[in-house]
């Protein structure tokens, strides 16, 4: 089972949300891609953060595509069910359990509330296929995944994220991940001390992207 937990890298995610919010406001159907989402704790954390900061109407238009390479369907089932044992939820920030989870009926389990659950669309995807799942993303989040790849694979995956992003879209990763020097012209660091990068337009990076609504 993949190692992940709710509110992992909380400070990174809070800064990501803060920086991406203005670009979401200008879009009719804003999209986010969480690549390597494992069993759902990360995309649900992110979605809860958006729910807490966006107005109700804007939040209901948000789409978060959560993907993972896991191919037995087990992760898909877990993300779609959104049921987690209480001991996994015991260290959530104050107020989150009451506001965004409901008892599931099963002893000791809670389910993410429907309004949050409905924002997440899970699909199986191997990042090493180097095929983007779509275009026009305001944010691609890929944390604790790239470190498992070879340097050349990492570069191709990052190029693919660049194609998937909307103009000016953001890419976020874990604190310890460096942007390869080869890609310095494709991504510009957004904050000096954090793993958050903005897409730089580049004429030679692939086919023109369709504009997102
Ligand atoms: C350590 S977990 C990270 C989960 C979450 N992003 C986090 O930071 O808590 C790594 C995840 O990357 C997924 N993964 C590994 N190789 C992948 C690939 N080639 N394509 C997509 N996902 C991959 C694994 O299945 C696993 O769920």
**Cα 146 to averaged position of ligand 1 atoms, centre (Å):** 8
Ligand 1 centroid to Cα of residue 152, in Å, is 18
Side-by-side strand order, sheet with 101-103:
83-85, 109-112, 101-103
Strand order in the sheet with 165-172: 120-124, 63-68, 31-35, 137-141, 165-172, 196-199, 187-189
CA of 49 to the centre of ligand 1 (A): 21
Q: Are 121 and 31 in contact (CB under 8 A)?
A: no
Atom of ligand 1 nearest to the CA of 34: 6
CA-closest candidate to residue 34, choices 179, 175, 138: 138
pTM of the model: 0.94
Is the C-alpha dihedral spanning 75, 117, 53, 89 positive or negative? negative
C-beta of residue 66 within 8 angstroms of C-beta of residue 117? no
Q: Each residue's pLDDT tens digit in the chain (213 positions)?
A: 799 999 999 999 999 999 999 999 878 899 999 999 999 999 999 999 999 999 999 999 999 999 999 999 999 999 999 999 999 999 999 999 999 999 987 778 999 999 999 999 999 999 999 999 999 999 999 999 999 999 999 999 999 999 999 999 999 999 999 999 999 999 999 999 899 999 999 866 644 445 444
Residue 30's pLDDT is 96
Q: Which residues line ligand 1 (CB under 6 A)?
A: 2-4, 8, 36-38, 42, 68-70, 126-128, 143-145, 148
């Amino acid at each position: 089972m993949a190692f992940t937990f709710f509110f992992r890298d909380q400070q990174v995610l809070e800064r990501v949300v803060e920086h991406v919010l203005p670009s979401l406001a200008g879009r009719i159907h804003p999209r986010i891609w969480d690549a390597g989402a494992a069993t759902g704790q990360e995309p649900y954390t992110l979605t809860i953060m958006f729910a807490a900061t966006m107005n109700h109407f804007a939040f209901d238009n948000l789409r978060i595509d959560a993907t993972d390479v896991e191919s037995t369907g087990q992760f898909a089932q877990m993300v779609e069910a959104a049921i987690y044992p209480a001991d996994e939820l015991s260290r959530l920030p104050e107020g989150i359990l009451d506001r965004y989870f409901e008892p599931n009926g099963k002893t000791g389990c809670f389910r993410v509330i429907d309004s949050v659950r409905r924002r997440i669309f899970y699909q199986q995807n191997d990042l090493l296929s180097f095929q983007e799942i779509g275009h026009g993303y305001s944010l691609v989040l890929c944390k604790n995944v790239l470190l498992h790849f070879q340097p050349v694979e990492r570069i191709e995956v990052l190029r693919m994220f660049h194609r998937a992003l909307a103009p000016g879209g953001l890419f976020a990763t874990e604190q310890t991940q460096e942007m390869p020097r080869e890609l310095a012209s494709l991504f510009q660091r957004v904050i000096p001390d954090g793993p958050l990068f903005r897409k730089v337009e580049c004429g030679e990076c692939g086919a023109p992207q369709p504009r997102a609504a």
